[in-house]
């Protein structure tokens, strides 16, 4: 299965491969690595297995049909880099659940700078 935006996401059994299709997608991959390294032990982030030049391999999680705003607020409180207006953390497609039913943020490559590029 494939999903396309600024990155091509190839959904395989157990992993997701995200390949940048444009500069914004590359920046998102690099941001995901930075956020993972900094917050992997304190925030519910999809496990990052590998990154090179913005190409990402992550553990795959079960998708959800709804994300409670409390979860969005919680992750924003944990990760100050997400304290900006034009993010897409509220989009349930960017979230999943792990084996225990805990919400996991799947797409955490956005930043205030990357979000600003969508306005242009």
Q: What is the pLDDT of residues 25-72, one digit of tens each?
A: 999 999 999 999 999 999 999 999 999 999 999 999 999 999 999 999
**Gap between the Cα atoms of 90 and 56, Å rounded:** 22
pLDDT exceeds 70 at position 120: no
Q: Provide the domain limits for residue 95.
A: 2-117
Instruction: Give residue 84's pLDDT.
Output: 85
Whole-model pTM: value is: 0.91
Determine the pLDDT at residue 2.
58
16 Cβ partners below 8 Å, 6+ apart? 9, 10, 46, 56, 57, 58, 59, 60, 106
Judged against a pLDDT cut of 60, whether residue 89 lies above it is answered with yes
50 closest CA partner among 75, 8, 19: 19
Mean pLDDT of the chain: 92
**Number of domains present in the structure of the chain:** 1
Q: Count of CB atoms within 10 A of residue 69's CB?
A: 9
10 Å CB burial of residue 8 (0-12, 13-18, 19+) is middle
Using alpha carbons, select from 22, 46, 44 the residue that is nearest to residue 117.
22
Q: In the sheet that 103-105 helps form, which strands lie side by side, from edge to edge?
A: 62-63, 95-97, 103-105
Average pLDDT over residues 90-115: 94
């Amino acid at each position: 299965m494939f999903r396309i935006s600024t990155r091509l996401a190839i959904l395989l059994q157990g992993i997701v491969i995200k390949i940048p299709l444009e500069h914004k997608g590359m920046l998102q991959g690099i941001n995901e690595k930075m956020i993972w390294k900094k917050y992997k032990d304190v925030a519910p982030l999809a496990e990052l297995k590998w990154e090179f030049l913005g190409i990402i391999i992550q553990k795959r999680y079960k998708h959800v049909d709804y994300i409670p705003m409390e979860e969005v607020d919680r992750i924003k409180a944990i990760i100050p880099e997400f304290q900006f207006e034009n993010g897409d953390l509220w989009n349930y497609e960017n979230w999943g659940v792990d084996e225990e039913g805990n919400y996991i943020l799947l797409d955490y490559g956005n930043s205030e700078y990357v979000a600003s590029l969508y306005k242009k």
